[in-house]
């Protein structure tokens, strides 16, 4: 009997050792996910929001990189702060990949930031400029699975100023909630064949002479049903490293046209000289530093009662 018990203990020990070894291998080679929901373990970090209970009108997805903490902080304190405009709830989240080289302290800081602000969406792909398509598709994936109850989605970047008040006003006025896509429309853009260009595209990557119409990746807005359609069709659209063009390719396949949000130009993919009256009537402005984001936002908020007489369009 003693020999039999010893055999059982031995077998149990081997099984336990094997289980521990398997667990060690999984933890070592799989990035640990502290916020994963069951069925969506490809996300490393997820924000704290229940869209079923309190659906937002507009979800703003901001592409960011690890080192851009100052910009994220400025956005959280200004246009990216959760707020109610009229009766419309506006929320913002940051899209993040992973570092090319393992950096435990950096990863810990990102997890701490996520725990503090609960506004980071992250997957396990290398965070580079040419992976912006993956980053944007991650945002679309998140909307599709976690926030299809929202009305609109905006994709933008950390070096942008967004007038969420005017954007919300225009979206309500437009009164379009399906098959709607808008931004700074590029209706006749061609691939850049100059090899020294940041946006160089070889003929192998894209043999066509012209891109389909697309909106500048600095900031575009679409109804949430479009996010769901892009999520479904994207596996059949060959990967393309220029994110805004890739989204245009998806829209072209879906036969969803691009539309102007307003009769006046409101999306600016370049720098716009600041003035209170001018910025009241724009949606996006590019190449904005974190300090400028706060300065512009505070100036607009503190001058809401000022009258603008004869203010021309932004240039």
Q: What is the mean pLDDT of the chain?
A: 88
Residue 310: which pLDDT band, with cuts at 50, 70 and 90?
low
Q: What is the pLDDT of residues 114-147, one digit of tens each?
A: 999 999 999 999 999 999 999 999 999 999 999 9
Predicted pLDDT at 305: 77
Predicted pLDDT at 304: 80
What mean pLDDT comes out for the span 81-91?
Answer: 97
pTM given for the model: 0.85
Predicted pLDDT at 255: 98
What is the percent of the chain with per-residue pLDDT over 90, rounded to a whole number?
80
Is a pLDDT exceeding 50 seen at residue 26?
no
Domains defined along the chain, listed by start: 43-303 (3.90.550.50)
Is a pLDDT exceeding 50 seen at residue 195?
yes
Q: What is the pLDDT of residues 227-275, one digit of tens each?
A: 999 999 999 999 999 999 999 999 999 999 999 999 999 999 999 999 9
Predicted pLDDT at 30: 34
Pairwise CA distance, residues 261 & 284, whole Å:
12
What mean pLDDT comes out for the span 56-63?
Answer: 98
Is a pLDDT exceeding 50 seen at residue 182?
yes
Predicted pLDDT at 268: 97
The owner of tokens 């807005």 is 221
Predicted pLDDT at 31: 36
Other residues' Cβ atoms within 10 Å of the Cβ of residue 171: 23
Is a pLDDT exceeding 90 seen at residue 91?
yes
Residue 303: which pLDDT band, with cuts at 50, 70 and 90?
confident
Answer yes or no: are the C-beta atoms of 181 and 215 closer than 8 Å: yes
Residue 41: which pLDDT band, with cuts at 50, 70 and 90?
low
Residue 40: which pLDDT band, with cuts at 50, 70 and 90?
low
């Amino acid at each position: 009997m003693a020999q039999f018990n010893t055999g059982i203990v031995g077998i149990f020990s081997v099984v336990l050792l094997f289980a521990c070894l398997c667990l060690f291998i999984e933890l070592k080679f799989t990035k640990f996910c502290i916020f994963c929901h069951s069925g969506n373990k490809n996300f490393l970090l997820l924000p704290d929001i229940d869209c079923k209970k309190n659906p937002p009108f507009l979800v703003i997805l901001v592409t960011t990189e690890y080192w851009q903490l100052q910009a994220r902080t400025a956005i959280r304190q200004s246009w990216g702060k959760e707020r109610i405009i009229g009766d419309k709830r506006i929320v913002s989240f940051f899209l993040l990949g992973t570092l090319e080289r393992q950096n435990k302290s950096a990863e810990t800081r990102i997890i701490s930031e996520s725990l503090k602000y609960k506004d980071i969406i992250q997957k396990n792909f290398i965070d580079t400029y040419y992976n912006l398509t993956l980053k944007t598709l991650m945002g679309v994936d998140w909307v599709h699975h976690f926030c299809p109850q929202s009305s609109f989605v905006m994709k933008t970047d950390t070096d942008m100023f967004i007038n969420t008040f005017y954007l919300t006003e225009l979206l309500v006025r437009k009164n379009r909630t399906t098959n709607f896509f808008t931004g700074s429309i590029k209706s006749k853009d061609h691939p850049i064949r100059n090899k020294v260009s940041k946006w160089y595209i070889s003929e192998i990557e894209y043999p066509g002479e012209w891109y389909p119409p697309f909106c500048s990746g600095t900031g575009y807005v679409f109804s949430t049903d479009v996010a769901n359609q892009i999520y479904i069709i994207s596996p059949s659209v060959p990967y393309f490293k220029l994110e805004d063009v890739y989204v245009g390719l998806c829209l072209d396949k879906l036969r969803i046209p691009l539309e102007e949000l307003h009769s006046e130009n409101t999306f600016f993919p370049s720098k716009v000289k600041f003035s209170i009256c001018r910025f009241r009537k724009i949606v996006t402005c590019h190449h904005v530093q974190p300090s400028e984001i706060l300065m512009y936002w505070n100036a607009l908020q503190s001058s809401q009662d000022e009258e603008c007489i004869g203010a021309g369009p932004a240039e």
